[in-house]
Chains A and B, each alone.
Chain A
Amino acid sequence: MATQAAARGAEQEDVIEGDLVVRHSLTVRVAHWWTALFFVLAFLSGAALFSPRFYFLTNLFGGGYPTRQLHPWFSLFFIAGLIPLFRNWAGEMAWTDSDSRWMKNFKRYMRHEDLPEVGKFNAGQKLFFWAAALGGVVLLLSGVVMWFPTSFPIWVRYLAYPLHEILFILFGVAIVYHLYITLFALGGTLRAMTRGTVTKNWASSHHPRWYEEVNRK
């Protein structure tokens, strides 16, 4: 039990604690769930204004007017959560040759086969990371324009509105798979973000290169 408590509070990632491997530090996990919470709030309040089919979601926030008032704040808190995640992961998300090979083997990944070269993050996770970072910047910039439309020239508004909508759709598609993979497709994955640790077995089959490196330490 002592080891488990130590693993749960660990700030040192990529080390072995008893039977487990520490994958995400406590700080990263808190930042992730902060981001997740405000993403959901920003996404639902944004969806309400995106299409009349989702306007009923304004009821969650006390009506249309409060939804419009809250959405920018949810979004700012969401972006604020992306910053520590970006600082923590940017270095580990650098694209390598083996990532290109992983992309070629995407069908095998879909079939749940082991891919030998995967480090701490696979190419799909890296793409998701960079897309979220770039998408976050575009959402922020276009969102500020939409927050205070009359403070910006009209051509800037003409760009901001459709850009914000395109990013909303892309995030909507991305989040479906982000959730599907951890909640339904890959067993043993969700705990990396809740407890911070994964089993050695999981580490060696999903991220074999990473597991080798952890063992070499």
Chain B
Amino acid sequence: MPSNMEIRRSSATLAPPAGVRETPKVAKLIDTTTCIGCKACEVACQEWNDLQAEETRQFGTYQTLPDLTSNFWNMIRFNESESDGQFVWLMRKDQCMHCEDPGCLKACPAPAAIVQYNNGIVDFNQANCIGCGYCISGCPFDIPRINKKSGKVYKCTLCSDRVAVGLEPACIKACPTGCLQFGTRGNLLDIAEKRVEQLKAQGFQHAAVYNPEGVGGTNVITVLAYGDRPELYGGLPKNPKIPAYVGLMKSVMKPVGNVLMLLSVVGAFAHFMRFGKREDTE
């Protein structure tokens, strides 16, 4: 994780973040309608991040692996389905969505193991990760993966090391169709909306931008031709939300628990001051 990007939010940290600079929010746009499933982005991700290649296997699809792994952070999901009686073949780049309100960061108990930079990228710092896996359950998109060897959790960094020095993420550089774009969040949302209008004009009346509000919006913005049914795209949740227990634990149970335990000590002290010790003659 790069040190020259300012942090907006940090897991399990009591002090406010030090950053004062106003930096533009960055985002990645995935236009699933122009993705050709070439997997150049998968290769670029593996290469740039020096990730060990996982052994692939044939399981009746062009998809590289059944699921993301701790060494495989970016995968095109291939899904076959039907729309208006017509066969459709859907491809979607599956990866960390870099939520504005990240469930992983909220659930994490280790200080600064998960951070969100000013520019919106959510990054894991494995040096601080304690391997508890809370982030895995806190993520509404089921993205973080624990590595058996290191016991720590990994996911797409949005190439924070490249972005920190003014480069675009590796997957974007490799994409041959332009279905992946990188830029400031506002610009990309405009482009996404224009693309949705085009798609609607072409007859995809349910085309939509996938930027779910339940997680405060995502910094990975996805254009879907069948935007009314995101679950067709390899189980993209229709209305993702941070699981309720995460907020309950963080905002209610932890402060209330701390106060209750403190009050019990106060209560015991008060009892002692009022009634003292019951002595028994030996």
Contact = CB atoms under 8 A, between A and B. Distances in A.
A201 B281 contact: yes
A155 to B, nearest CB: 10
B261 interface: yes
* 9 A-B pairs with the lowest CB-CB distances in the bound complex, closest first: A64-B130, A169-B257, A180-B268, A112-B278, A188-B280, A176-B264, A52-B12, A68-B130, A172-B261
Contacts of B277: 184-187
Contacts of A217: none
A204 to B, nearest CB: 10
Contacts of A58: 130
Interface string A66-89: 011100000000000000000000
A169 B261 contact: yes
Given A55-B12, A173-B264, A187-B279, A68 B132 contact: yes
Given A187-B279, A206-B280, 4 more contacts: A51-B258, A111-B275, A166-B253, A173-B261
A181 to B, nearest CB: 9
B280 A202 contact: yes
B275 A110 contact: yes
B265 A176 contact: yes
Interface stretch (B74-82, B84-92, B241-249): B241-249
B187 to A, nearest CB: 35
A149 interface: yes
Contacts of A205: 280
Nearest to B258: A51
B62 interface: no
Interface of B: 12-14, 109-111, 113, 128-134, 136-137, 142, 146, 151, 243-245, 248-249, 253-254, 256-258, 260-261, 264-265, 268, 271-272, 275, 277-282
B132 A49 contact: yes
A58 B113 CA distance: 14
A161 B111 contact: no
Contacts of A169: 253, 256-257, 260-261
Contacts of B12: 52, 55
Contacts of A161: 134, 137, 245, 249
A128 interface: no
A7 B61 CA distance: 75
Interface in A37-55: 49-53, 55
A162 B268 contact: no
A150 B130 contact: no
Given A161-B249, A201-B281, A185 B13 contact: no
A184 B272 contact: yes
A65 B13 contact: no
B249 A165 contact: yes
A1 interface: no
A51 B133 contact: no
A52 B244 CA distance: 20
A206 to B, nearest CB: 8
Contact of B136 (A50, A150, A185): A150
Contacts of A176: 261, 264-265, 268
Given A158-B137, A162-B249, A169-B253, A185 B130 contact: no
Given A158-B243, A161-B137, A169-B260, A185 B280 contact: no
B265 A51 contact: no
A122 interface: no
B110 to A, nearest CB: 5
Among A58, A185, A201: residue with most chain B CB under 10 A: A185
B14 A53 contact: yes
A187 B271 contact: no
A112 B281 CA distance: 14
A120 interface: no
Contacts of B253: 162, 165-166, 169
A19 to B, nearest CB: 9
A157 interface: yes
B22 to A, nearest CB: 27
Contact of B278 (A51, A68, A187): A187
A6 interface: no
A53 B109 CA distance: 11
